[in-house]
Amino acid sequence: MWLGRALQPKSYNLGYESRGRIILGARVINTNYKTTPTDNFQDNTLMLGSVGYSIRKYYKDRYIFGFGRTEDIPVGTLFSITGGYQEGDIWDRTYLGTSLSVAKYGSHFGYLFGRAGYGTYIRDDRWEQGVLDLEGLYISKLSEWGNWKLRHYLLGRGTIGINRYPEELLFINDESGIRGFRSDIVRGTRRVSVNYEANLYTPLSLLGFRLATFIFADAAWLSTGNKSSPFRDKPYRSYGIGFRLRNEFLSFSTIQFTLGYYPQLPLNTNMQDFKLFKSSSQYYDFRDFQFTRPGVAEFY
């Protein structure tokens, strides 16, 4: 159960309405396990309160994720602080978290987004189940040669677990790090990933479907332990090429086929060096600046 209230700061400039909002939120989460996974988990009630400031506006552009339709680009700032208290059957503890997101857009340089967040529980003066989350996304301006158009996409993410439980581990599967990668063996507590893509929009079409081709390169680093560096070992990588067919008037608007190459594979896996797969969802997306319900920092 949760409740939120948005407040608009007073503007002393006549004729100007402030885009900023101050948001207050409260939430209660009750968790009961039919079967407790390990001794680190317990039935509990978590009470959270948050305060945030959000300011956002939208620009318009084309050929970002669509194939010519006008797209809204959200930019702005979102800052929040969350605090709470967890009452459990075995122990009680406090929660603290904060997050800051900023995005800018310009027709001469493109779209740039950055986010940093941190959250942790505190029990008996010991900080546990902490997570530091970093993210940056850059989308270049559109390059045009007649009816051919090109954009570049660069995404960097870092998830650093701090005093996490042994059962809590990160993957690098698909959206978590490397597209098309699938392994239940490759896991860790600290992860860094970098994803690059060049998307070429063509003037070709078939039965209402527009065609775009792309190349990509992904790299992901993993480590275990609370003090280990993710960059100590070689990264898992993938390189590939693919094409997208998109019809703006259908519910399943995008059909994507990708051929990926994976030069480094984990032992005892049935993955192949080359993999052909399809997808209907895009790998990159905008981050909105809408304040959502209070919650703890996610570790996944």
Q: pLDDT by residue (tens digit) across 208-221?
A: 788 999 999 999 99
The answer to whether 213 touches 200, Cβ cutoff 8 Å, is yes
How far is 275 from 220, CA to CA, in rounded Å?
A: 18
Strand segments, DSSP code E, in the chain are 2-7, 21-31, 44-61, 71-88, 92-106, 110-123, 126-139, 143-145, 148-162, 190-206, 209-223, 236-246, 254-261, 274-279
How far is 142 from 64, CA to CA, in rounded Å? 8
Report the sign of the C-alpha dihedral through residues 2, 99, 121, 165, in that order.
Answer: positive
Amino acid at 286: F
Q: Which residues contact 17 (CB under 8 A, 6 or more apart)?
A: 8, 11
What is the residue-wise DSSP string for 209-251? EEEEEEEEEEEEEEE-SSS--GGGSPPEEEEEEEEEEE-TTSS
Question: Residue 199 has which token pair?
Answer: 């998307």
Radius of gyration (Cα) for the chain, nearest Å? 22
Which tokens belong to 241? 């090429």
Largest separation between any pair of C-alpha atoms in the chain = 68
Q: Rounded mean pLDDT of 272-293?
A: 83
> What mean pLDDT do residues 253-263 have?
89
The tokens describing 32, both together, are 């009961």
73-100 mean pLDDT:
96
* Residue pLDDT, tens place only, 231-245: 988 899 999 999 998
More confident residue, 287 or 248: 287
Q: 14 pLDDT exceeds 70? A: no
Instruction: Please check the confidence at residue 19 and state whether its pLDDT lies above 90.
Output: no
pLDDT at 186: 92
**pLDDT, position 95:** 98
Mean pLDDT of the chain: 91
Q: Check if the beta carbon of residue 178 is closer than 8 Å to that of residue 261.
A: no
Band (264; pLDDT cuts 50, 70, 90): confident
Q: What is the pLDDT of residue 252?
A: 67
> How far is the C-alpha of 20 from the C-alpha of 9, rounded, in Å?
7
For the cut 80, the answer to whether the pLDDT of residue 119 exceeds it is yes
**Are the C-beta atoms of residues 23 and 291 closer than 8 Å to each other?**
yes
CB 243 within 8 A of CB 254: no
d(CA 129, CA 187): 17
The pairing of beta strand 21-31 with beta strand 44-61: antiparallel
Whole-number pLDDT of residue 288:
80
Place of tokens 């800018």: 104
Across the strands, what pairs with 185?
A: none
Please state, in angstroms and rounded to a whole number, the distance separating the CA atoms of residues 166 and 28: 26
CA distance 74 to 76: 7
**pLDDT at 129 (0 to 100):** 95
Residue 253 pLDDT > 80: no
pLDDT at 36: 87
Instruction: Give the other-Cβ count within 10 Å of 242's Cβ.
Output: 22
Q: Does residue 68 carry a pLDDT above 80?
A: yes
Written as one letter, the residue type at 137 is L
Instruction: Note the pTM of the prediction, 2 decimals.
Output: 0.91
pLDDT at 290 over 90: no
Q: Give the pLDDT mean for 126-153.
A: 95
Reference 36, options 207, 195, 165; nearest CA is 165
> What pLDDT does residue 15 have?
60
Region 204-209: what's the mean pLDDT? 83
Question: What is the average per-residue pLDDT within 262-274?
Answer: 83
